[in-house]
Amino acid sequence: MSQTVLHAKGLEKRFGAVVAATEINVEVPEGACLGLIGTNGAGKTTFVNMITGYLKPDEGRITFGSVDITGKAPREITRLGVCRSFQIPQLYNSMTALENLEAAFGIVLLNSASGGWFVSPRTPVPGYGAPIRELAEQALERFELTAYRDKVTRVLPGGVRKVLDIAMAMAVQPKILLLDEPTSGVSAEEKFGIMDMVMGVVREAGTTVLFVEHDMEVVARHADRVLAFYDGRIIADGKPDEALNHEQVLKHIVGHTQHATTGQ
């Protein structure tokens, strides 16, 4: 068994009388690929938001490696190596796809030991050994975005924006990547192609992945472990075929009709 890289212990988050998440206990081993499933409002995004510092849990602890990251600011958590994409892609909308990635790698350069007020953009980015422009071009290619290189991101199609959002998060070379519904708003035909490509790139980099997903086929295809959320709790945690066929999961999340498609 590989080492635990992320450990959430007894997390709880309330919004007034609403309990968004409670008794969340998760240990994520290094190199794992976890699928997070559940209906809307089940607590998946709340969980992702607590891990990435967008929300501070009311109870519980989150440790990343040996560092306690509970309640730390998003940028601190990001710098430690926990990055995320968003359900609604968060891009620099006035910039082109290339400029988005250049800005992303630029921030990585500024945060490194080589960064400074007057650092040249041609300085090799530590951890990569290549300058910003080159890295941005490589990322475009790797994520199959070259065709959109010089398009302003405001006008890009939803699926492309999703992929670019993930490419930006990957610029930080995270140890853990959290993807919040990477295929929502993407057409059924494109979904599998995009997911295969993204997962291929991300897994090749050795990144541990947690992804929130509604499509059980996508989950079964990519996750090596599934966390099922219902009413703020984790009701099942295990291998995809076990978790997706768990009685409570079938009842509350998957629905019996979809059962047939998930069995592998």
Residue 207 as a binder of other proteins (CB under 8 A): the answer is no
Q: Token pair of 208, please?
A: 């541990």
Residue 171 as a binder of other proteins (CB under 8 A): the answer is yes
Contact 38, 67 (CB under 8 A): no
- Alpha carbons 212 and 158: distance in angstroms, whole number: 17
Residue 120 as a binder of other proteins (CB under 8 A): the answer is yes
Percent composition of the chain: helix, strand, coil (DSSP 3-state, to 5) = 40, 25, 35
Binding mask 122-141 for other proteins (x = CB under 8 A): ----------x---------
Pick the piece of the chain touching other proteins (CB under 8 A) from 57-65, 116-124, 181-189, 198-206: 116-124
Pick the piece of the chain touching other proteins (CB under 8 A) from 41-49, 90-98, 227-235, 241-249: 90-98
Q: Where does residue 264 rank: exposed (0-12), middle (13-18), buried (19+ CB within 10 A)?
A: exposed
Binding mask 32-71 for other proteins (x = CB under 8 A): --------------------x-------------------
Residue 245 as a binder of other proteins (CB under 8 A): the answer is no
Residue 145 as a binder of other proteins (CB under 8 A): the answer is no
Alpha helices in the chain (DSSP H): 44-51, 74-80, 97-111, 132-142, 158-170, 188-204, 216-222, 240-244, 247-249, 259-262
- Dihedral (CA of 225, 169, 143, 261) sign: positive
Q: In terms of DSSP bridges, do strands 82-84 and 233-238 run parallel, antiparallel, or are they unpaired?
A: unpaired
Residue 172 as a binder of other proteins (CB under 8 A): the answer is yes
Among 5, 169, 177, 223, binds other proteins (CB under 8 A): 169
Binding interface with other proteins (CB under 8 A): 52, 73-75, 78-79, 83-84, 86, 90-95, 99, 102-111, 115-121, 132, 168-169, 171-172
